[in-house]
Amino acid sequence: MRTAGRSLSLCNFIVQKKEIMALEKLDLKITGMTCAHCEKFVTKAIMELDGISSLMVDYRSAFASMTIDNSLVSGGQIAALVNETGIYHAEIIPQ
């Protein structure tokens, strides 16, 4: 019984946490990626940031799509991180 009660409490916490998050879809045009290694490098760099909920990067289309918690990270911060590499250039695609 106690275990079930803890699980229920944990589930309630997770639901409440999701409601607090300010999720937003963000698309970036990322130039300079020429291969799967570039794609993996950009993916790893972005995923290390707090607030990234989901991410898809495709070097063939020079595109990245993600869901972010904008209370933790902004599109500008993500684009700046990509641009800091000096190899890739990211621009936010307006929704």
Tens digits of per-residue pLDDT, 54-70? 999 999 999 999 999 99
Residue 67 tokens read as 């869901």
The whole-angstrom distance between residue 49's C-alpha and the CA centroid of its chain comes to: 8
Which of 45, 38, 87 has its CA nearest to residue 66? 45
Global pTM? 0.76
| Overall average pLDDT of the 9-32 stretch | 68
What radius of gyration, in Å, describes the C-alpha atoms of the chain?
A: 17
